[in-house]
């Protein structure tokens, strides 16, 4: 009997191993680097093994610019397996060991670089439910890009170059720093040790516990992290200094920066303390770590990164110099800090299961920027800038190459492409719409419930909708006031947040609602807004739209949930006008059919303050966008724009510029000087009165200061005589003082732009570059237009990072491309350096997308379209042929061509008529 049992067990084991072998063989088309079949055939990792804990030691050498390390990973085996699949990229792996209950034994290593995967093969089966550990030694060069574990550097005031090493692991770059399970659902704890020279410091996600001294080096040991995803791991080895304070809740906040800029950290420290305390209270969940570091990195591709306990930033996103930084810098710094600290809950504590739902991280963080700053920094008037995010998202979402907020992604390039305006800005805007729909009280309770329920876990869309639905229904029953508001939305029907929001997150695009008023009857219809000449692409789309509207008869905001293609509303009384999408709280456009737009134009001309500034901005945006798809004639939009001569609010003014300036920009690329100058003259005349009211100083609120900077720069660019005279005078005084004179920060852009127009002025500015903000100089210097050689010099300087940092290159290239004398140079540079750029900034990144669309989005001729298609059509998959931004570039140029073909005669006729009307009025 014993022999029979042994034989039976032997047969079972043999069958089990045979099945594993067959599974191995079925993947044989995937060849390892040594020619053997790789035991896994998918981009996503198998779920047979999960990491529980990483013990990671890293030793970067800042002289040889490489690093070595060893990682020990504790594993939870969830299915019997003989293969452990994890990630590693561009590193040498050695001494791979399995630490099993039976003892230590080596594992066979296979590598599959295409998917950045390692296969660790065991001679015996790893049994489900048992705990194992694997240990790997590794070595690699510090990355010369902006991701992974990469080299950064800065130059001191004495000219010395100092090197540091920093991490950027989102989305798929932790695998380039240490072997790991580099997907967000594989959460684990991390215990990190960093070996360094005594002249440096090391910081990581957690506080340092103690330091050892092995052979002249120092080894810092950091406390074990909370359970988190690999993309949130962070460590920096540098010579940074820091300043610190403690929040009311006992969290130590530290700002790290290069020694010579440590005196520019006070504003960020105050903001971080205030904002972390706010989130602690708002979310009703204590920040779970004992410290929060914010580090200003000299070389940084994106704006910032939310690593848990160690957020990293561009220097311009964190450092504030009261003598040089502008009001918009202050606004930008507080927004980016608010964004990254919101991530400590949305993204870090609760993480999307996979990158298809990135918006659950980024949309919420973008949304919380505005919620938090509205309360903590009311003087910044952050609400004045929210609509801009919605307009930017609509620009992308109006193309057929857009994507749903939640969309399938698989490979690293597709994942990188998710970091766009749809995930961030559209995500924030639909959350704002949902908050308005449910009421702020219900929304806040719902998201707190969501965060508490899924802390340290991974989520999908439906988890959020479930949390918000349940809370909203409870509030409906308990609170009569909220019931009254909600009842107007859905007329007593069962509230189903998921059904509503699936229409906004699972399909691309957004609705255009057409409104036609006939007496007291309001006819409604919806369709997809799409810039295309193929109407079939707009079919099959239906949204549940939370409509809001107000009328000339009442300031009351009325509400209606439009679920069908068409519907009818009835007004209680006759009205002169009706305005839908009040304050543009909804992510949709509105077309006023019949006499609707004429009614709107009348109220704007006679009493524009009857509508809020957000309402006015949304009307400007909508009417010009409707011209693009032929719903409204251009002369109607231009008639509406006439009211702008009386406008003073920043959102409406900047949106007016945003719709009018691109029109002459299209003409610049077609060499249509006469019509172009006529259009420029119209815009200057429109805003002349507001420009004349601006003081050349730094007085007023943030919004007033940002608007002043915008207006004076525009007036100077357009050679408006008062601006030209004043800017020329100030630049001469500044130059005569050898750059020591203190200019008002708000007018510096206008002054330097005028000064850079002469060879002498440009050379002087370039020499002073190191004493000025690099971000600012990238904008200033490309506004000159006397020598093509200077454009090329600036782009080359940025590419090599010799004077201008490479992180600023995308802004420089795009700015050159906007210049009427440099736009072809920007395109030529992009083509000539394409392979270098995609290596430096990574395929699919928002940086590459910004350059592709920014360089091409003002082209409006078939010749340029053919040239753009020819270049991008020659790319391979490895060099980016399938990137979404390329399709967006094609569509935008096609739309520009259609716009010009359809509207140039109308534009010419209207401007001629307007000129005659103006002359007549003057007489």
The residue with tokens 């939009």 is: 637
Whether 148 contacts 173, CB under 8 Å: yes
d(CA 738, CA 461): 58
* Annotated binding residue 516: no
DSSP 426: I
Name the helix (H) or strand (E) containing 412.
helix 412-417
* Dist. CA 157–CA 267, nearest whole Å: 23
Between strands 511-518 and 521-528, the pairing is antiparallel
Rounded distance between C-alpha atoms, residue 515 and residue 513, angstroms: 6
Neighbours of 67 (CB within 10 A): 23
SS3 label, residue 856: helix
Of the residues 170, 315, 340, 649, only one is catalytic, namely 340
Q: Are strands 457-459 and 350-352 parallel, antiparallel or unpaired?
A: parallel
Q: How many CB atoms lie within 10 A of CB 677?
A: 13
C-alpha 190 chain-centroid distance: 28
Q: Which residue has the tokens 């973008």?
A: 366
The secondary element (H helix, E strand) that includes residue 545 is strand 545-551
CB 301 within 8 A of CB 841: yes
CA distances from 166 to 212, 320, 717, 801, 821 (A): 22, 22, 40, 18, 39
Q: Is 59 assigned to a binding site?
A: no
What's 741-776 look like in SS3? CCCCHHHHHHHHHHHCCCHHHHHHHHHCHHHCCHHH
Residue 772: count of CB within 10 angstroms of its CB: 15
Q: Are 75 and 162 in contact (CB under 8 A)?
A: no
Distance CA 142, CA 146 (A): 10
Residues whose CB falls within 8 Å of the CB of residue 718, separated by 6 or more in sequence, listed in order: 680, 683, 684
Q: Is the dihedral of CA 462, 468, 470, 476 positive or negative?
A: negative
Say how far apart CA 258 and CA 504 lie, in whole Å: 44
**Dist CA 373 CA 380 (whole Å):** 8
Tokens, residue 390:
């919605």
Q: Are 463 and 450 spatial neighbours (Cβ–Cβ below 8 Å)?
A: yes
Residues 6+ apart with CB under 8 A from 52: 74, 75, 76, 131, 188, 189
The sheet carrying 103-106 orders its strands as 103-106, 92-100, 131-141, 66-77, 49-61, 189-196, 218-222, 208-212
With the C-alpha atoms ordered 523, 525, 529, 530, is the resulting torsion angle positive or negative?
negative
Whether 590 contacts 515, CB under 8 Å: yes
User: What is the C-alpha separation between 461 and 677, in angstroms, rounded?
Assistant: 50
Q: Residue 796 gets which letter from DSSP?
A: H
Q: Is 340 labeled as catalytic in the residue annotation?
A: yes
SS3 378: helix
Q: Is 87 marked as a binding-site residue?
A: no
Whole-angstrom distance, CA of residue 657 vs CA of residue 385? 15
Structure tokens at 170: 């989102």
How far is it, in rounded angstroms, from Cα 397 to Cα 404? 9
Cα 744 to Cα 749: distance, rounded to the nearest angstrom: 10
Beta strand 589-592 with 511-518 is: parallel
812 CB burial (10 A radius; 0-12, 13-18, 19+): buried
3-class DSSP assignment, residue 8? helix
Task: Tell me the catalytic residues.
Answer: 340
Known binding site for Zn(2+): residues?
339, 343, 362
Known binding site: residues?
339, 343, 362
């Amino acid at each position: 009997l014993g022999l029979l049992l042994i034989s039976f067990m032997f047969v079972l084991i043999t069958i089990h191993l045979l099945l594993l072998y067959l599974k191995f063989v079925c993947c044989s088309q995937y060849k390892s680097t040594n020619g053997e079949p790789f035991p896994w055939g998918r981009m996503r990792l198998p779920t047979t093994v999960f990491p529980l804990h990483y013990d990671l030691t890293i030793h970067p050498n800042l002289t040889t610019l490489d690093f070595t390390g060893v990682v020990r990973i504790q594993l939870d085996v969830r299915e019997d397996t003989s293969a452990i699949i994890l990630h590693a990229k561009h590193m040498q792996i050695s001494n791979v060991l399995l630490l099993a209950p039976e003892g230590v034994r080596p594992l066979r290593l296979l590598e599959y670089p295409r998917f950045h995967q390692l296969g660790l093969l065991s001679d015996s089966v790893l049994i489900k439910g048992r705990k194992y550990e694997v240990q790997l030694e590794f070595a690699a060069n510090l990355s010369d890009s902006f991701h992974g574990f990469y080299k950064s550097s800065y130059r001191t005031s004495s000219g010395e170059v100092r090197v540091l090493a920093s991490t950027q692991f989102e989305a798929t770059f932790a695998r380039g720093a240490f072997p790991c399970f580099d997907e967000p659902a594989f959460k684990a704890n991390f215990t990190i040790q960093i070996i360094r020279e005594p002249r440096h410091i090391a910081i990581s996600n957690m506080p340092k516990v103690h330091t050892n001294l092995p052979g002249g080096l120092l080894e810092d040991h950091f406390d074990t992290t909370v359970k988190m995803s690999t993309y949130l791991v962070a460590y920096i080895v540098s010579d940074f200094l820091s300043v610190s304070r403690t929040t009311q809740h006992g969290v130590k906040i530290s700002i790290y920066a290069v020694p010579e800029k440590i005196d520019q950290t006070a504003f960020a420290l105050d903001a971080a303390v205030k904002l972390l305390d706010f989130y602690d209270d708002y979310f009703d969940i204590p920040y779970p770590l004992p410290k929060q570091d914010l580090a200003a990195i000299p070389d940084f591709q994106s704006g910032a990164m939310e690593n848990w306990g160690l957020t990293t930033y561009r220097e311009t996103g964190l450092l504030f110099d009261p003598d040089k930084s502008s009001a918009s810098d202050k606004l930008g710094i507080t927004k980016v800090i608010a964004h990254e600290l919101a991530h400590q809950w949305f993204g870090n504590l609760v993480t999307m299961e996979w990158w298809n739902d990135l918006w659950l991280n980024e949309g919420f963080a973008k949304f919380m920027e505005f919620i938090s700053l509205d309360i903590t920094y009311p003087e910044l008037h952050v609400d004045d800038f929210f609509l801009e995010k919605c307009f930017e998202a609509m620009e992308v979402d109006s193309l057929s190459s857009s994507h749903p907020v939640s969309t399938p992604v698989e490979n690293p390039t597709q994942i990188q492409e998710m970091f766009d305006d749809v995930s961030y800005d559209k995500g924030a805007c639909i959350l704002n719409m949902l908050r308005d729909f449910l009421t702020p009280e219900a929304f806040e309770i719902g998201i707190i419930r969501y965060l508490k329920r899924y802390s340290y876990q991974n989520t999908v869309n439906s988890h959020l909708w479930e949390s918000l639905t349940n809370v909203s229904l409870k509030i409906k029953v308990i609170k009569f006031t909220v019931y009254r508001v909600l009842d107007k939305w859905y007329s007593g029907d069962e509230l189903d947040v998921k059904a509503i929001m699936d229409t906004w997150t699972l399909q691309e695009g957004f609705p255009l609602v057409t409104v036609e008023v006939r007496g007291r009857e309001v006819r409604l219809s919806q369709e997809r807004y799409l810039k295309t000449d193929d109407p079939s692409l707009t079919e099959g789309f239906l949204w549940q739209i939370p409509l809001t509207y107000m009328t000339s008869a009442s300031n009351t905001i009325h509400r209606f949930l439009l679920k069908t293609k068409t519907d009818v509303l009835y007004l209680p009384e006759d009205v002169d006008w009706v305005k839908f999408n009040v304050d543009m709280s909804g992510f949709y456009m509105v077309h006023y059919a019949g006499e609707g737009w004429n009614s709107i134009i009348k109220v704007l001309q006679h009493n524009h303050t009857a509508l809020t500034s957000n309402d006015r901005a949304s009307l400007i945006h909508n009417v010009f966008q409707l011209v693009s798809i032929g719903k409204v004639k251009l002369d109607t939009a231009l008639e509406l724009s006439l009211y702008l001569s009386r406008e003073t609010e920043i959102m409406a003014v900047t949106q007016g510029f945003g719709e009018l300036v691109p029109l002459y920009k299209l003409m610049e690329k077609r060499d249509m000087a006469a019509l172009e100058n006529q259009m420029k003259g119209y815009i200057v005349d429109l805003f002349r009165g507001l420009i004349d009211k601006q003081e050349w100083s730094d007085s007023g609120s943030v919004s007033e200061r940002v608007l002043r900077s915008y207006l004076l720069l525009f007036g100077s660019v357009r050679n408006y005589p008062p601006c030209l005279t004043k800017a020329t005078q100030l630049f001469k005084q500044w130059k005569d003082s050898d750059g020591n004179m203190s200019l008002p920060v708000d007018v510096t852009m206008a002054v330097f732009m005028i000064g850079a127009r002469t060879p002498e002025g440009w050379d002087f500015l370039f020499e002073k570059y190191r004493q000025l903000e690099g971000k600012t100089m990238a904008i200033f210097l490309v506004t000159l237009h006397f020598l093509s050689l200077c454009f090329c010099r600036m782009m080359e300087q940025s590419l090599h990072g010799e004077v201008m940092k490479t992180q600023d290159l995308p802004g420089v290239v795009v700015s050159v491309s906007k210049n009427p004398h440099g736009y072809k140079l920007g395109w030529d540079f992009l083509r000539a350096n394409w392979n270098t750029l995609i290596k430096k900034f990574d395929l699919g990144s928002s940086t590459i997308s910004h350059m592709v669309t920014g360089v091409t989005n003002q082209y409006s001729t078939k010749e340029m379209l053919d040239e753009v298609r020819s270049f991008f059509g020659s790319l391979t998959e490895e060099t980016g042929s399938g990137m979404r931004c390329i399709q967006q570039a094609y569509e935008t140029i096609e739309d520009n061509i259609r716009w010009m073909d359809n509207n140039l005669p109308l534009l010419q006729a209207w401007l001629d008529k307007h000129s005659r009307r103006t002359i007549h009025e003057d007489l």
